[in-house]
Structure formats: C-alpha cells, structure tokens
Amino acid sequence: MAVAGTVRTADGAPIEGVLVMGADLNYAETDADGFFILARPELALFFWCTGFLPLARALPNGENRVEVTLRRAAVPCAVDHGRHG
C-alpha cells in the first residue's frame, strides 16, 4: 500500500523538500507543491524539514491520503550578556 499527501505551512503554503519517512525507513521528499507519495509506509510517518518542527503521524489501517501542517521552529534571539561601558 502507498500513501500520498501534501505538507503545508499553517497559512496553507506548500513546503518543498520535506523528508517523509516511513517506520521501515523508506522515504520520499515533497515537491514544489508539497506533494509526496511513499510506498509501504508501515504504521507511521515522520516529517522533517529544516526550519520546521518535526512531526510524527500514526496511520490508521487503510489510510492512504494525508494532509499535514508543519509549524515553523522558533529561532532564539542572540542575547549579548557582556558588560557595557
């Protein structure tokens, strides 16, 4: 069984280059439209992309289409703790 789907940001923009990995470590990558197809995903999918929080998603038996939203990772601000003047 294959599973297909789309990965988007919270505002609905597609995300290109998301690594979509099955539980048995087979993988696919999203295209410019955020679309992917993954053969034999087993029981779960893992989504990873630089700049976004990783996500794991269980696949209910028979599910072959998923829509996923990734949240952007917060980037901490640099803080200068040095003495001034």
Ordered by start, the domain boundaries in the chain are 2-64
Q: How confident is the prediction along the chain (85 residues), in pLDDT tens digits per residue?
A: 789 999 999 999 999 999 999 877 889 999 999 999 998 777 889 999 999 999 999 888 778 999 999 999 876 655 555 555 5
Angle at 45 between CA 69 and CA 25, to 5 degrees: 140
Cα dihedral 35, 14, 33, 26 sign: negative
pLDDT at residue 25, rounded to an integer:
81
pLDDT at residue 79, rounded to an integer:
55
**pTM listed for this prediction:** 0.82
pLDDT at residue 61, rounded to an integer:
79
Classify domain 2-64 by CATH number. Answer: 2.60.40.1120
Tell me whether residue 32 is exposed, middle or buried, using C-beta atoms within 10 angstroms of its C-beta: 0 to 12, 13 to 18, 19 or more. exposed
Q: Are 4 and 64 in contact (CB under 8 A)?
A: yes
pLDDT at residue 24, rounded to an integer:
79
